[in-house]
Amino acid sequence: MDEPPLFRPLGLVAACVLPGLGHIVNGETKRGLCIGAGVLGLFFSGLLIGGIDTIDSREDRVWFFGQALVGPLSFVIDYAHQTHFKVIDPQTKQLRSAYPGEGRDPKNGYAVTPGMPPNIKSISKMNELGTLFSTVAGMLNFIVVLDAGFPSRRQTGKA
């Protein structure tokens, strides 16, 4: 029986780009699709449950460390959150989520009243669970990246 190579750099890089892509590049298409569905399903479920507020590298930095393991997707969503959804407080000049009844001036990003908030800040359990879903997705993807770059001999039969 052929031993798998100890290191697959292309698989490692591809797995860092998108969950499951590393296994697809390594020739395991079905496995890659299932893994991608699992990790991305968890990540987008978190986003659906808690809204875009759950991906926030400024206010929830420690959680974002885990979410960042999902790959560039997390950074893109965080960038969109910081630059297109948060407002600049007119008094403190700091970025923050818009309050209810407060909108965002598209020209300069300042908070304007009255207006429609670009997104509603999630609180309580929905925020906790949404953040947890997306962070667990990142931690699982770390295992996936390692497996794509450094393939192990899989168990035959039951896992």
Q: Give least dist CB 135 to another protein, A.
A: 11
Our finding on whether 26 is near another protein (CB under 8 A) is: no
**Separation CA 148–CA 81 (nearest Å):** 30
Angle separating helix axes 29-50 and 124-149, nearest 10 degrees: 160
Judged by beta carbon, residue 64 or residue 138, the one nearer another protein is: 138
- Residue span binding another protein (CB under 8 A) among the ranges 5-13, 32-40, 62-70, 87-95: 32-40
Q: How far is the CB of 73 from another protein (least distance, A)?
A: 13
Q: Whole-number minimum distance, CB 74 to another protein, in Å?
A: 14
Q: Which one of residues 116, 134, 135, 149 is an interface residue with another protein (CB under 8 A)?
A: 116
Q: Quote the CA–CA distance of 40 and 70 in Å, as a whole number.
A: 8
Q: How many helices (H) and strands (E) are present in the chain, helices listed first? A: 6, 4
| 83: its two tokens | 């630059």
Q: Which is nearer to another protein, 92 or 99 (CB)?
A: 99
Q: Does 136 bind another protein (CB under 8 A)?
A: yes
**The binder of another protein chosen from 11, 71, 118, 149 (CB under 8 A):** 118
Should residue 124 be labelled a site residue for another protein when binding is judged by CB under 8 A? yes
120 phi-psi bin (left φ>0, alpha ψ -120 to 50, beta other): beta
Yes or no: say if 23 and 154 are a contact pair by the CB < 8 Å rule.
no
Contact assessment for residue 24 and residue 32, using Cβ atoms and an 8 Å cutoff: yes
> What is the helix (H) or strand (E) element at residue 104, kind and residue range?
strand 103-104
Residues that bind another protein (CB under 8 A): 19-20, 30-31, 34-35, 37-39, 41-42, 44-45, 47-53, 85, 100-101, 114, 116-120, 122-127, 129-130, 132-133, 136-137, 140-141, 143-144, 147, 154-159
